[in-house]
Structure 1
């Protein structure tokens, strides 16, 4: 094997896809589920990097803006343009002049297409578009495009494309040790967490793309020095649209100068994020009362008429950002850029970075691996092949083609007995793979009934198991459907029948069934119950 990637988040998935399409033999091992760490707990935006303008990081804005368009064209089913309004107020961080100039520069740097370039609104227009905004001191608003995504499904679709091209991807496969020969890293010991068996994987090159766990693996390699990770925590709160009927996505600054998003999505409104240093359990970051109250205060500050209360929180999620801190520098100088570290043993680590930049990060890692392999073996590899490569589900003819695809498939779905809304949901979730889900829905209604499962739930679950390596209830309810965050009542309604079916398919013992059920229950509880302190 040429390359073993440790970590099945967006970075690991991107590296696997880039490497396999250049002709390398590739495997990915992930100790949890794909996207279970940072890659399912972001703000769920493919950012254009507007806030980097404030720090004059021109190159970042330019690259990130262009990447955003590529991510969209290669998977228009999981990424959608979202018009964002940036209101400005007397005494706020942004004013009409600076916002207009900033957005104009942003449009230019990010290569924003004509139909999506910024416009500026007078206060009356801004209030008309979002009546819940604070009126007092409003001076107007900027209006520009961000892209919203389903981060976990984006990761899955990139990983599935790598697998379709020949990569091996395994979840619940935890690296316990690195294997060395003559001082060079040549493989890993890994435990299959589904059955406790130990495995060995050998590769010419090993890349550590473990997100918040990057330093844990660098420690195993004895190479954690110089620059290290500083984990910061971000939380998002979810409300039902009836309680917080936001019509328009808003990006606003808080009294302490932080920027917060409020975004309407599928009958809900979600708001975030916080940014606090995190020192707790990496696998299970939790929302504290202070985190929740910070976001509630931000909502109250910008949307005073909503009169938001703690009991209005329907669900939440908590994620970690693996940022890079240099020894001897202050925490305020933490970098959000990605960096590559190569240790004396040849162990390659990638840390930092953002969801939007995943493809470029992958390209730089695989360029490095290709160069090393060329030096060591004489083999030649082409440059990156992913710029115009649709991800799994993305074979719909780009963003324009997706509109026609959607109309056609909605008709197909209605013919099968789905409502228009149900059909749209499935098409947005699965893109060009939706036919497989439709077939299961149509052909296996009797099995669904026998298993006490709603036929749509059954079709999604069967697809998740057969094509997306879902193994535990949390894989299905969080990463494959996003329901624990955006439709927690749906989870409550279908939880028992889904678990019973999965237990049967995977032949779980009673202990396993209890463990996996408890795991889901704990996460459902955590989503609605903040803790006192970390």
Structure 2
């Protein structure tokens, strides 16, 4: 990816060339489409009105999971497809995806029992093509409590133990985009599609506006794809909604608690009385819990966690872990995301299918709607397959099934051994082993590029940041189009969610470094700080 300082060049490129494909939307779906298209030999442009991954793609449950609960709704094909995609995502990006053993406890009078859990997980393994060492295990009550002693013992009958994959959704999106850019795609954040341009009644591009400077430019393309998630209908209205279908948005909320207050040892997937399924997942000294599922009819740009949302999750935790006794004061941070589901009359928020559909308008606009994070690659493949009618040449099949993402190309190297060896190397520069491992896992193979930044960032006189922080910050400035504090603390590192105190103690210094490195004005610096302060306030329980 490029730097903020390359914006003028990138805008000139967008304004000067006619592309094969223009993707509107820089979340995981749009990123996947850009990568699929560019890897098939098409020329590709992508624009995003916010930061990359600024919407749903930085606000999910951060799991690449197969949707076990969808078996209850008999959505067998979707479970099979996204289940198989989990391992593909993992193999192509091990540095941002890792196996997570999940425990599904079952209780007397609960929604799951020994037989239904055993059969359900076995079917799940079969549909998802799970490898032998990761297939489900059925556990006794005693074995469940050994894995997670905090669980409620009364009524516990046993549990199922199976594998999902944990990820950082925003970083996964960034690594997909960076790979697309490595292959030649032109991608730019903070660039909004304002209106379509037409030739003989067919869409031939867009007029776009730079949200940072208000500059306008024209981007021409043979095919235009609307991959804007919750904003799909807003973009379609600029053209036409001629198939009678529309989105139904639902909101999901997560809370984060320090593990000193909630010493969760094992990731748990559990049911609550209203039929919802909730995850509780340990991560880097924290435990996060989610998600809620409620209809949402407001602006999807800034969904917030309400007191009611937080109380719902706290009650769920305290019911299953009765000795923890969490209160709202224990919640360090929250996040809320909006799911762009395809409307189904008469169904509750949790019952609406997570399936995806591809629509084509009379004027040629291709729209991808619905879907899940886990299935992004297959959704992208299916969408690009639909572009054949725009081109006389035969499009080759998708290349992405075995295409490592940026930082994920370990070749024949053993991933764990690579992490160990590179971490040892970084210790010689003064990093602790834990700092070194975190940095290497954060960047993957790209840590080799970041090593070259050490002589420069060592000169930064910023006591609040250790060397690992400095390397990470400078790498994202140089390679990941960071333009603001929010870009860095929310979408590039996730620190606002998982280490909010560090954000509070360091953002002043980071703000000054961004100002210096990106040549920002004092007005831009102040706007960035005000935005981050608003996000900090929104992340805390009100």
For normalisation by structure 2, the TM-score amounts to 0.94
Q: Which of 476, 479, 500 matches 1:488?
A: 500
Partner of 2:415: 402
Partner of 2:113: 95
Where in structure 2 are the equivalents of 1:425-444 lying within 5 Å? 425-441=438-454, 443-444=455-456
Where in structure 2 are the equivalents of 1:410-429 lying within 5 Å? 410-429=423-442
Distance in 2 (CA, whole Å) between partners of 1:451 and 1:164 is 35
Where in structure 2 are the equivalents of 1:332-481 lying within 5 Å? 334-369=352-387, 371-374=388-391, 378-397=392-411, 401-441=414-454, 443-449=455-461, 453-481=465-493
Where in structure 2 are the equivalents of 1:107-126 lying within 5 Å? 107-126=125-144
1:330, CA displacement in angstroms?
4.5
Distance in 2 (CA, whole Å) between partners of 1:151 and 1:13 is 12
1:222, CA displacement in angstroms?
2.1
Distance in 2 (CA, whole Å) between partners of 1:474 and 1:278 is 24
1:194-250 Cα distance to aligned partner (Å, 9 max, x none):
211111101000000001000000111122651111110000000001010000000
Matched residues, number? 523
SS of aligned partner of 1:86:
strand
Partner of 1:158: 176
For normalisation by structure 1, the TM-score amounts to 0.96
Partner of 1:516: 528
1:430, CA displacement in angstroms?
0.7
Distance in 2 (CA, whole Å) between partners of 1:206 and 1:445 is 41
1:514, CA displacement in angstroms?
1.7
Distance in 2 (CA, whole Å) between partners of 1:335 and 1:62 is 15
Partner of 1:183: 201
Q: Does the 8 Å CA contact 1:448/1:454 hold for their aligned counterparts?
A: no
Distance in 1 (CA, whole Å) between partners of 2:429 and 2:513 is 24
Between 1:295-304 and 1:500-509, the stretch displaced more is: 500-509
Q: Does the 8 Å CA contact 1:218/1:224 hold for their aligned counterparts?
A: no
Q: Does the 8 Å CA contact 1:325/1:331 hold for their aligned counterparts?
A: no
1:452, CA displacement in angstroms?
7.4
Q: Does the 8 Å CA contact 1:286/1:318 hold for their aligned counterparts?
A: yes
1:507, CA displacement in angstroms?
2.7
Distance in 2 (CA, whole Å) between partners of 1:450 and 1:29 is 34
1:329, CA displacement in angstroms?
5.2
SS of aligned partner of 1:444:
helix
1:245 is the counterpart of 2:263: yes
Distance in 2 (CA, whole Å) between partners of 1:447 and 1:188 is 44
Partner of 1:223: 241
Between 1:40-49 and 1:216-225, the stretch displaced more is: 216-225
Partner of 2:303: 285
Partner of 2:517: 505
1:494, CA displacement in angstroms?
1.1
1:476, CA displacement in angstroms?
0.4
Distance in 2 (CA, whole Å) between partners of 1:67 and 1:509 is 44
Distance in 1 (CA, whole Å) between partners of 2:462 and 2:505 is 17
1:395-427 Cα distance to aligned partner (Å, 9 max, x none):
1137x7211211111111112221110011111
Q: Which of 33, 39, 45 matches 2:63?
A: 45
Q: Does the 8 Å CA contact 1:260/1:272 hold for their aligned counterparts?
A: yes
Residues 452 and 485 of structure 1, relative CA distance in 2, 3 Å threshold = closer
Distance in 1 (CA, whole Å) between partners of 2:383 and 2:458 is 48
SS of aligned partner of 1:203:
strand
Q: Does the 8 Å CA contact 2:269/2:279 hold for their aligned counterparts?
A: yes
Distance in 1 (CA, whole Å) between partners of 2:122 and 2:221 is 47
SS of aligned partner of 2:374:
coil
Where in structure 2 are the equivalents of 1:312-327 lying within 5 Å? 312-326=330-344
Distance in 2 (CA, whole Å) between partners of 1:389 and 1:44 is 22
Distance in 2 (CA, whole Å) between partners of 1:455 and 1:417 is 8
Distance in 2 (CA, whole Å) between partners of 1:435 and 1:53 is 43
1:51, CA displacement in angstroms?
1.1
1:262-291 Cα distance to aligned partner (Å, 9 max, x none):
000000000000000011221100111111
Q: Does the 8 Å CA contact 1:172/1:193 hold for their aligned counterparts?
A: yes
1:438, CA displacement in angstroms?
2.6
Distance in 2 (CA, whole Å) between partners of 1:210 and 1:48 is 23
Distance in 2 (CA, whole Å) between partners of 1:102 and 1:194 is 50
Q: Where do 5+ consecutive residues of structure 1 fail to align?
A: none
Q: Which of 155, 175, 194 matches 1:137?
A: 155
Partner of 2:289: 271
Distance in 2 (CA, whole Å) between partners of 1:289 and 1:455 is 38
Distance in 1 (CA, whole Å) between partners of 2:504 and 2:204 is 46
Between 1:205-214 and 1:452-461, the stretch displaced more is: 452-461
